[in-house]
Amino acid sequence: MSSAPKLQTAGDTTRIVISVDAMGGDRGPAAVVAGLVASASKNAEIAFILHGDEDELGPLVSRQASLAGRCEVRHAPRIVTMNDKPSQVMRNGQGTSMWSTIESVKNGEAAVAVSCGNTGALMAVSMLRLRKLPGINRPAIAGLWPSRNPAGFNVILDIGADVRADAEDLLQYGIMGVSYARNGMNIARPRVGLLNVGTEEHKGRAGMKDAFDLMAAHAESGQYEFVGFVEGGDIPSDRCDVIVTDGFTGNVAIKTGEGTAKIIADFLRDAFQATFLSKMAALLALASLKRLQKRIDPRRVNGGVFLGLNGTVVKSHGSADATGVSSAIKLAFQLAKTGFNDRLAARVANAAAGRQTMDMTKDGTSG
């Protein structure tokens, strides 16, 4: 179950190997290969195993000088579509590029898996093949969202692994999110908030108060600061670094935010094309506007991370283009490089042990 970096040695260069699903995305394998090219040309430490139809992938890869000797094509004849049900893929998914992509992490050839495919199916295959970490009830998908914090992003989870989550699950999400923020974003003592409809303690759904109490009780041993309930408006704020919620609410929140960012970007484009003066202005402000666009571009935060499995899986947007794929690969590389998954597993094990001790103390037993 070790997720230590899987290395490829080529002459003087030691490379971290990423397993990539070429076939799942809306834009087809050409966009994925373009993403690999973008990453490979920026990062000499990276190598790939690319899964999919080799007749289609071979020519795409061999054409790219930057991928020479750094991208092995692994033939997988079948494709998981966006309409396939997770349960079907779990039963009949062998031979698909998605299954093969996860398999390379399971058998230790690659450090991290990346796929643009069907989220539900990817989670199902990941759970089936990689298995949950000891002590984890529900794995979660963690996303990054632009924020006012120095890091520029906040972690939010779960954004869609499971529509349900009880108080214990929310505590585990918190622990996993803290581990992600600590290792992926270098925040020594992350601040954690529990998403609710108000910040007062009496507000929210049944069970929210239980989760609040669990997360508060675990803060010291978990080395995080619990800021209590936060609201939707805090997801892009600097009130906390990690926002914890169930996968239904998290998914709706993230997609609402993305849709809002997109409509504003479109309105902004309209505004600059409205008059002669505004067109001139757009030219003058080009550099600043490009920087802004980069700051709020959803493709830059592309890549939900599956947490709570014996291995790391990065889920890229189905509609990701080369920039999006490259951004997901960059995240996968960073996580592999820090040995993130082993550290996460240790945190979860510690938390479980701590809870057991607490329960024993409570019971007055010590067996």
Whole-number Å distance between alpha carbons of 18 and 313: 10
State the minimum distance, in angstroms, from the CB of residue 135 to a second copy. 26
Q: For residue 138, give the nearest of 157, 161, 119, 160 by alpha carbon.
A: 161
Alpha carbon separation from 98 to 4, 46, 181, 295 (Å, rounded): 22, 20, 27, 31
How many residues of this chain bind a second copy (CB under 8 A)? 65
Question: Residue 118 — φ and ψ, nearest 5°?
Answer: -40, 115
Residues 179-208 within binding reach of a second copy (CB under 8 A): 195, 197-198, 200, 202-205
Residue 309 lies near a second copy (rule: CB under 8 A):
no
Which ranges of the chain does DSSP label H, i.e. alpha helix? 28-42, 54-62, 86-92, 97-106, 119-130, 167-185, 208-218, 247-273, 276-284, 286-296, 322-337, 340-363
Q: Which is nearer to a second copy, 62 or 275 (CB)?
A: 275
Residues 275-304 within binding reach of a second copy (CB under 8 A): 275, 277-278, 280-285, 287-289, 291-292, 295-296
Among 10, 44, 55, 267, binds a second copy (CB under 8 A): 267
Whole-number Å distance between alpha carbons of 195 and 325: 29
State the minimum distance, in angstroms, from the CB of residue 177 to a second copy. 17
Place of tokens 């690659």: 110
Whole-number Å distance between alpha carbons of 134 and 310: 9
Residues 25-84 within binding reach of a second copy (CB under 8 A): 83
Place of tokens 């930057």: 66
Whole-number Å distance between alpha carbons of 98 and 215: 35
Among 233, 362, 365, 366, binds a second copy (CB under 8 A): 233
Residue 228 lies near a second copy (rule: CB under 8 A):
no
Whole-number Å distance between alpha carbons of 97 and 74: 9
Q: Which is nearer to a second copy, 215 or 230 (CB)?
A: 230
State the minimum distance, in angstroms, from the CB of residue 38 to a second copy. 25
Piece of 20-28, 53-61, 273-281, 300-308 that binds a second copy (CB under 8 A)? 273-281
Which ranges of 16-53 does DSSP label H, i.e. alpha helix? 28-42
Contact map string, positions 138 to 177, toward a second copy, x by CB under 8 A: --------xxx-----------x--xx-------------
Report the SS3 class of residue 69.
coil
Q: Which is nearer to a second copy, 38 or 159 (CB)?
A: 159
Residues 86-145 within binding reach of a second copy (CB under 8 A): 120
Residues that bind a second copy (CB under 8 A): 83, 85, 120, 146-148, 160, 163-164, 195, 197-198, 200, 202-205, 231-237, 245, 247-249, 251-264, 266-268, 270-272, 274-275, 277-278, 280-285, 287-289, 291-292, 295-296
